[in-house]
Structure 1
Amino acid sequence: MKYIILLGDGMADEQLASLGGKTPLQFASTPNMDFVASHGEIGVAETVPAGFPPGSDVANLSVMGYDPRLYYTGRSPLEAVSMGVDLDNDDAAFRCNLVTLSGEERYEGKT
Protein backbone atom coordinates (compact mmCIF):
# COMPACT_ATOMS: atom_id res chain seq x y z
CA MET A 1 0.00 0.00 0.00
CA LYS A 2 1.21 3.49 -0.82
CA TYR A 3 0.84 6.34 1.60
CA ILE A 4 0.82 10.09 1.27
CA ILE A 5 1.41 12.16 4.37
CA LEU A 6 0.10 15.71 4.18
CA LEU A 7 1.59 18.16 6.65
CA GLY A 8 -0.38 21.33 7.18
CA ASP A 9 2.72 23.19 8.31
CA GLY A 10 1.81 26.73 9.34
CA MET A 11 -1.86 26.35 8.45
CA ALA A 12 -3.20 27.33 11.88
CA ASP A 13 -2.39 31.03 11.47
CA GLU A 14 -4.17 33.78 13.41
CA GLN A 15 -7.81 34.87 13.39
CA LEU A 16 -8.31 38.07 11.41
CA ALA A 17 -11.05 40.64 11.96
CA SER A 18 -11.15 41.24 8.19
CA LEU A 19 -12.18 37.58 7.75
CA GLY A 20 -14.95 37.74 10.34
CA GLY A 21 -12.76 36.42 13.14
CA LYS A 22 -11.73 33.35 11.15
CA THR A 23 -8.26 32.15 10.25
CA PRO A 24 -7.32 32.19 6.55
CA LEU A 25 -7.74 28.40 6.51
CA GLN A 26 -11.20 28.56 8.10
CA PHE A 27 -12.21 31.24 5.58
CA ALA A 28 -10.77 29.52 2.50
CA SER A 29 -12.66 27.31 0.09
CA THR A 30 -10.92 23.93 0.46
CA PRO A 31 -12.79 21.34 -1.66
CA ASN A 32 -9.69 19.26 -2.38
CA MET A 33 -8.59 19.14 1.26
CA ASP A 34 -12.19 18.34 2.24
CA PHE A 35 -12.21 15.43 -0.24
CA VAL A 36 -8.93 14.02 1.06
CA ALA A 37 -10.10 14.37 4.66
CA SER A 38 -13.40 12.63 3.97
CA HIS A 39 -11.87 9.75 1.97
CA GLY A 40 -8.63 9.17 3.84
CA GLU A 41 -7.62 8.36 7.35
CA ILE A 42 -6.84 11.11 9.76
CA GLY A 43 -4.54 10.74 12.71
CA VAL A 44 -2.57 12.80 15.12
CA ALA A 45 1.11 12.37 15.81
CA GLU A 46 3.26 14.17 18.32
CA THR A 47 6.23 15.16 16.20
CA VAL A 48 7.96 17.59 18.54
CA PRO A 49 9.60 16.02 21.61
CA ALA A 50 9.27 17.77 24.96
CA GLY A 51 11.83 20.52 25.40
CA PHE A 52 12.19 21.32 21.68
CA PRO A 53 10.92 24.47 19.97
CA PRO A 54 7.63 23.69 18.19
CA GLY A 55 8.88 24.54 14.72
CA SER A 56 8.60 22.92 11.33
CA ASP A 57 12.31 22.07 11.32
CA VAL A 58 11.98 19.80 14.36
CA ALA A 59 8.62 18.36 13.31
CA ASN A 60 9.63 17.61 9.72
CA LEU A 61 12.86 15.96 10.84
CA SER A 62 10.77 13.72 13.09
CA VAL A 63 8.24 12.91 10.35
CA MET A 64 11.09 11.87 8.04
CA GLY A 65 12.14 9.28 10.61
CA TYR A 66 14.99 11.09 12.35
CA ASP A 67 14.81 11.41 16.12
CA PRO A 68 15.32 15.14 16.81
CA ARG A 69 16.86 14.27 20.19
CA LEU A 70 19.72 12.62 18.27
CA TYR A 71 19.95 14.59 15.02
CA TYR A 72 18.55 18.10 15.48
CA THR A 73 21.28 20.73 15.40
CA GLY A 74 19.17 23.69 14.34
CA ARG A 75 17.48 24.95 11.21
CA SER A 76 20.65 26.19 9.48
CA PRO A 77 22.03 22.82 8.29
CA LEU A 78 18.62 21.80 6.96
CA GLU A 79 18.28 24.99 4.95
CA ALA A 80 21.86 24.73 3.66
CA VAL A 81 21.34 21.17 2.42
CA SER A 82 18.00 22.15 0.83
CA MET A 83 19.95 24.67 -1.28
CA GLY A 84 22.51 22.08 -2.37
CA VAL A 85 25.27 23.11 0.03
CA ASP A 86 27.46 20.13 0.95
CA LEU A 87 28.33 20.15 4.64
CA ASP A 88 31.14 18.07 6.15
CA ASN A 89 31.18 16.90 9.77
CA ASP A 90 33.44 19.79 10.80
CA ASP A 91 31.44 22.49 8.97
CA ALA A 92 29.11 24.97 10.65
CA ALA A 93 26.03 26.51 9.05
CA PHE A 94 24.54 29.80 10.20
CA ARG A 95 21.11 31.17 9.36
CA CYS A 96 20.48 34.91 9.41
CA ASN A 97 17.40 37.02 8.80
CA LEU A 98 17.66 40.42 7.18
CA VAL A 99 15.92 43.23 9.02
CA THR A 100 15.03 46.82 8.23
CA LEU A 101 15.26 49.55 10.84
CA SER A 102 12.65 52.25 10.60
CA GLY A 103 10.98 54.99 12.57
CA GLU A 104 8.37 52.60 13.94
CA GLU A 105 8.01 51.98 17.66
CA ARG A 106 10.21 49.39 19.32
CA TYR A 107 9.14 45.78 18.96
CA GLU A 108 8.61 45.48 22.72
CA GLY A 109 5.94 48.19 22.45
CA LYS A 110 3.97 46.12 19.93
CA THR A 111 3.52 43.10 22.17
Structure 2
Amino acid sequence: MSNLTTTTDSEVTQEISQANQPVLLYFWASWCGPCRLVSPAVEAVADECADQVKVLKMEVDPNPEAVKTYQVEGVPALRLIQNDQVQWSHEGAITKDKLKANIEQFLS
Protein backbone atom coordinates (compact mmCIF):
# COMPACT_ATOMS: atom_id res chain seq x y z
CA MET A 1 0.00 0.00 0.00
CA SER A 2 1.28 3.42 -0.96
CA ASN A 3 1.44 6.40 1.38
CA LEU A 4 0.30 8.57 -1.51
CA THR A 5 -3.00 10.40 -0.96
CA THR A 6 -5.07 11.53 -3.93
CA THR A 7 -6.56 14.96 -3.37
CA THR A 8 -8.77 17.56 -5.08
CA ASP A 9 -9.30 21.33 -5.15
CA SER A 10 -11.87 21.06 -2.36
CA GLU A 11 -9.58 18.99 -0.09
CA VAL A 12 -6.01 20.16 -0.72
CA THR A 13 -5.96 23.21 1.59
CA GLN A 14 -7.26 21.16 4.51
CA GLU A 15 -4.85 18.28 3.73
CA ILE A 16 -1.91 20.69 3.79
CA SER A 17 -3.00 22.62 6.89
CA GLN A 18 -3.60 19.42 8.89
CA ALA A 19 -0.24 17.88 7.98
CA ASN A 20 2.29 17.55 10.81
CA GLN A 21 5.17 17.48 8.33
CA PRO A 22 6.13 19.02 4.99
CA VAL A 23 3.80 18.18 2.09
CA LEU A 24 4.99 17.11 -1.35
CA LEU A 25 2.24 17.99 -3.82
CA TYR A 26 2.51 16.05 -7.09
CA PHE A 27 0.55 17.37 -10.08
CA TRP A 28 0.02 14.95 -12.95
CA ALA A 29 -2.22 14.21 -15.95
CA SER A 30 -3.37 10.94 -17.50
CA TRP A 31 -2.28 12.14 -20.96
CA CYS A 32 1.22 13.09 -19.76
CA GLY A 33 4.03 10.73 -20.83
CA PRO A 34 6.66 12.13 -18.41
CA CYS A 35 4.12 11.74 -15.57
CA ARG A 36 4.14 7.97 -16.19
CA LEU A 37 7.92 8.05 -15.74
CA VAL A 38 7.83 10.19 -12.57
CA SER A 39 4.89 8.50 -10.79
CA PRO A 40 6.88 5.45 -9.60
CA ALA A 41 9.57 7.77 -8.16
CA VAL A 42 6.97 9.85 -6.31
CA GLU A 43 5.31 6.67 -4.97
CA ALA A 44 8.68 5.34 -3.80
CA VAL A 45 9.45 8.60 -1.99
CA ALA A 46 5.98 8.52 -0.42
CA ASP A 47 6.73 5.06 0.97
CA GLU A 48 10.38 5.58 1.92
CA CYS A 49 9.86 8.97 3.57
CA ALA A 50 6.36 8.40 5.00
CA ASP A 51 7.43 9.44 8.51
CA GLN A 52 9.00 12.68 7.21
CA VAL A 53 6.80 13.97 4.40
CA LYS A 54 3.14 13.72 3.40
CA VAL A 55 2.71 13.12 -0.34
CA LEU A 56 -0.42 14.30 -2.14
CA LYS A 57 -1.23 13.47 -5.75
CA MET A 58 -3.48 15.75 -7.78
CA GLU A 59 -4.67 15.41 -11.36
CA VAL A 60 -4.44 18.81 -13.05
CA ASP A 61 -7.44 18.77 -15.40
CA PRO A 62 -10.24 18.42 -12.80
CA ASN A 63 -8.48 20.69 -10.27
CA PRO A 64 -7.89 24.13 -11.87
CA GLU A 65 -7.90 26.05 -8.57
CA ALA A 66 -4.85 24.29 -7.11
CA VAL A 67 -3.11 24.46 -10.49
CA LYS A 68 -3.59 28.24 -10.39
CA THR A 69 -2.70 28.59 -6.70
CA TYR A 70 0.55 26.66 -7.07
CA GLN A 71 1.36 28.20 -10.48
CA VAL A 72 1.64 24.90 -12.31
CA GLU A 73 2.64 25.57 -15.91
CA GLY A 74 3.53 22.03 -16.96
CA VAL A 75 3.26 18.47 -15.72
CA PRO A 76 4.62 16.59 -13.97
CA ALA A 77 4.98 19.30 -11.34
CA LEU A 78 6.13 19.01 -7.75
CA ARG A 79 5.73 21.49 -4.90
CA LEU A 80 7.18 20.99 -1.43
CA ILE A 81 5.09 22.95 1.05
CA GLN A 82 6.19 23.69 4.59
CA ASN A 83 4.49 26.17 6.95
CA ASP A 84 2.04 27.08 4.15
CA GLN A 85 4.93 28.20 1.92
CA VAL A 86 6.28 26.56 -1.23
CA GLN A 87 9.88 25.73 -0.29
CA TRP A 88 10.85 23.91 -3.47
CA SER A 89 9.26 23.41 -6.87
CA HIS A 90 10.09 21.42 -9.96
CA GLU A 91 8.41 20.87 -13.31
CA GLY A 92 9.31 18.09 -15.71
CA ALA A 93 10.74 14.61 -15.30
CA ILE A 94 12.98 13.87 -12.31
CA THR A 95 14.63 10.71 -11.02
CA LYS A 96 13.81 9.23 -7.62
CA ASP A 97 17.31 9.93 -6.32
CA LYS A 98 17.21 13.57 -7.43
CA LEU A 99 13.71 14.00 -6.00
CA LYS A 100 14.77 12.55 -2.64
CA ALA A 101 17.92 14.70 -2.53
CA ASN A 102 15.92 17.86 -3.23
CA ILE A 103 13.27 17.26 -0.57
CA GLU A 104 15.59 15.83 2.09
CA GLN A 105 17.23 19.24 2.57
CA PHE A 106 13.88 20.47 3.96
CA LEU A 107 13.18 17.47 6.20
CA SER A 108 14.24 17.35 9.82
TM-score, with structure 2 as normaliser = 0.23
Decide which structure has greater strand share: 2
* Structure number with higher relative contact order (C-alpha < 8 Å, ≥ 6 residues apart): 2
Structure number with greater Rg is 1
